[in-house]
Amino acid sequence: MIKLKIDTYNSGNYEVEVETYNASEINQQLNDRDINTVLVGDLIFSRIEVKLITPITEALKPEIPVEENNEGENEKINESTESF
């Protein structure tokens, strides 16, 4: 599942989950003058009201390096440097 954030010109902000996301296909629908509404997930939008559709990505947490000490226990590596 992919989460999408949808902003509209009437200041609406929506989040919806979809099975697949094809930006090119949605762009084609939004620019087709013969189409009145666009279905995104479970929501129906007037094509002229959609301002922006953005995939939501989860922020990845940086991995902290871990090394084993002499007793076989894991310790976080301190990457800071001391100045003298």
pLDDT digits (tens, 9 = 90+) for 34-83: 999 999 999 999 999 999 999 998 766 666 666 666 665 555 555 555 55
Backbone angles phi, psi at 18, to 5 degrees: -130, 155
Q: List the domain boundaries for the chain.
A: 2-55
Question: Any idea what DSSP says for residue 19?
Answer: S
What is the reported pTM? 0.65
